[in-house]
Amino acid sequence: MATTSVTPAQHAGAFLQGPKKLLIDGEWVDAASGRTFETVDPGTGEVLATVAEGDAEDIDRAVKAARRAFEDGPWSRISPSERGRIVHRIGDLIAEHAEELAELETLDNGKPKAVALGADVALAADLFWYMAGWATKLKGGTITPSVPYLPGDSEFHAYTLREPLGVVGQVIPWNFPLLMAAWKLGPALATGNTVVLKPAEQTPLSALRLGELMLEAGVPAGVVNVVPGYGETAGARLAEHPDVDKIAFTGSTEVGKIIARAATGNLKRVTLELGGKSPNIVFDDADVDAAIAGAAQGIFFNQGEVCSAGSRLYVQESQFDRVVEGISSAAQSIKVGHGMEADTDMGPLVSQEQFDRVTHFLRLGAEEGAQHVTGGQAIDRPGYFVQPTVITGADAQHAIVREEVFGPVIAAMPFSDVDDLARQANDSHYGLAAGIWTRDISKAHRLAKRIKAGTVHINTYHVFGAELPFGGYKQSGWGREMGEEVLSNYLETKSVIVGL
Ligand code: ADP
């Protein structure tokens, strides 16, 4: 297909004009080195925009600005109510610019515009609206201490304060660029922290546009700094920076471990939302058609570039052939194309590197003896397209079953009994998500308890909401994003004791 058939961006065109800069201390500035990098439309391979390439020196400037804004700036003195209103306005502005942000996301990441609009942008706005409400609801408690080594008539009044941590570094991935920025920024701002955000080098555009919208919403200078750049330079500096109080990371388990090590210098707080290899389980008493549709959505949504994608499909023996046939025919009916085309169901992978990774796993799967029931190949056209793929004949030792592919590739495996299934489902060093399809509610809830994963879906898949904590067991991460639970990642608790 010729690249000229791509529907032009109706709303994002203006933002794409001219080179993009770093947001530091409320100003749009060049990188100290003067260097830039190009961001590419993965649906065509063509350059979309030139972006200032932040590195360690720019991170240092941004951290200084964030420190000043935290210690001396208006952010530390602003009332919780006003802080909440600003966070709420960010959500409003995202909703007002939904079409533009969705187009930026589609052009930079590759995903279909309908997905960008319906999932990324809608969830990002909602995340800010949800977190805005917390700004006025943070509270400590009053406590009566019993102190055995003091005289019995000693009396105290004690209470706890919940205080922001200070300067927070946030490093985010390319699969949901705007939404991951929202997951990170919403709670950090609602709790009164200041931030240096490093978007992924593959997809810096929506975070930069969000930076403009945050200034428009009234976020004071220095409170949010956005510094695109590479992981090994800008990201690494943020993780090790001695004046950063916390690092929040979403990305691969491999880089998560590097970040955790880098953070030990000043023992900054660390939260990590990492990879997954999530089991999706279909029992023979399930609504099998719904399970097939759910399993297909669980792996093919967003090109499979989802950390919680249901990439291991376990099907009870008697329904195995039917489910494999169903998901294969669902895969074949997916219209793969440029994300800006209205009828596209699945876009390209984000980059050449990701394309190489996914096609490597496809080859490896075949070498290890698994069969591609459908798909299994790259698509010969400009951009980074691969076929939605269903694999059978893989076993628990195969790389395709153990390792995160991060692409539209599902391995289907039969199982016979629940105990064996639970063992197989947990046979992974990841523990991010799982799916269970059955009409037997007792079985569903019992199994949900046995599965070691941060999110378990029953008769549905890929349900995310600002209210729902999200994160991983085992090597899928530390801590939770979203919900009330995320707030504690951004707050210290202080006990204050008064002798009466
Ligand atoms: P992927 O392999 O899927 O691209 P990564 O985990 O490499 O995912 O990247 C996620 C984010 O982590 C990106 O913003 C990237 O720039 C950043 N990153 C990569 N390497 C490092 C590193 N050594 N230190 C800090 N951040 C990094």
273 is annotated as an active-site residue = yes
Q: Whose CA is nearest to atom 11 of ligand 1?
A: 173
- 3-state SS, residue 433: strand
Dmax over CA atoms of the chain, in Å, equals: 85
Please give the distance, rounded to the nearest whole angstrom, from the Cα atom of residue 201 to the centre of ligand 1: 9
**Residue 478 to residues 259, 270, 381, 472: CA-CA distances in angstroms?**
12, 8, 40, 7
| Ligand 1 atom at minimal distance to the Cα of residue 351 | 4
Active-site entry in 273, 305, 404, 481: 273
Closest ligand 1 atom to Cα of 255: 6
Measured in angstroms, how far is the CA atom of residue 262 from the centroid of ligand 1?
13
Domain range annotation of the chain: 22-274+477-497, 279-466
Measure 229 CA to ligand 1 centroid, in angstroms.
10
> Does this model's pTM top 0.85?
yes
pLDDT string in tens for the chain (500-residue length): 444 467 888 999 999 999 999 999 999 999 999 999 999 999 999 999 999 999 999 999 999 999 999 999 889 889 999 999 999 999 999 999 999 999 999 999 999 999 999 999 999 999 999 999 999 999 999 999 999 999 988 999 999 999 999 999 999 999 999 999 999 999 999 999 999 999 999 999 999 999 999 999 999 999 999 999 999 999 999 999 999 999 999 999 999 999 999 999 999 999 999 999 999 999 999 999 999 999 999 999 999 999 999 999 999 999 999 999 999 999 999 999 999 999 999 999 999 999 999 999 999 999 999 999 999 999 999 999 999 999 999 999 999 999 999 999 999 999 999 999 999 999 999 999 999 999 999 999 999 999 999 999 999 999 999 999 999 999 999 999 999 999 999 999 999 999 99
Q: d(Cα 41, Cα 60) in Å, to the nearest integer?
A: 30
223-258: string of b/e by CB count within 10 Å (b at 16+)? bbbbbbbebebbbbbbbbbeebbbbbbbbbbebbeb
Is beta strand 279-282 parallel, antiparallel or unpaired with respect to 312-316? parallel
How far is CA 355 from each of CA 359, 374, 383, 408, 477, rounded to the nearest angstrom?
6, 18, 9, 11, 25
Dist CA 440 CA 11 (whole Å):
48
19 CB-near residues (< 8 Å, 6+ apart): 36, 49, 50, 51, 52
Q: How many A from CA of 2 to the centre of ligand 1? A: 32
Query: Which of 105, 305, 307, 404 does the annotation list as catalytic?
Result: 307
- Pocket of ligand 1, candidates 197, 249, 255: which has the most ligand atoms within 8 Å of its Cβ, to mutate? 255
**Superfamily the domain 279-466 falls into:** Aldehyde Dehydrogenase; Chain A, domain 2 (3.40.309.10)
Decide if domain 22-274+477-497 falls under CATH 3.30.1360.30.
no
For ligand 1, atom 27, name the residue with the nearest CA.
231
Tell me the C-alpha distance between 137 and 123, whole Å.
22
For atom 16 of ligand 1, the residue with the nearest CA is 231
Q: Residue 469's CB: how many other CB atoms inside 10 A? A: 14
- The reply to whether 216 belongs to the active site is no
State which ligand 1 atom lies nearest to the alpha carbon of 258.
23
Name every protein residue with a CB atom under 6 angstroms from any ligand 1 atom: 171-173, 198, 200-201, 230-232, 235-236, 239, 251-252, 255, 258-259
Question: 339 alpha carbon to ligand 1 midpoint, in Å?
Answer: 24
Given ligand 1 and candidates 171, 233, 238, which is best to mutate, with the most ligand atoms within 8 Å of its CB?
A: 171
Q: Whose CA is nearest to atom 21 of ligand 1?
A: 231
Distance of CA 203 from the midpoint of ligand 1 (Å) = 12
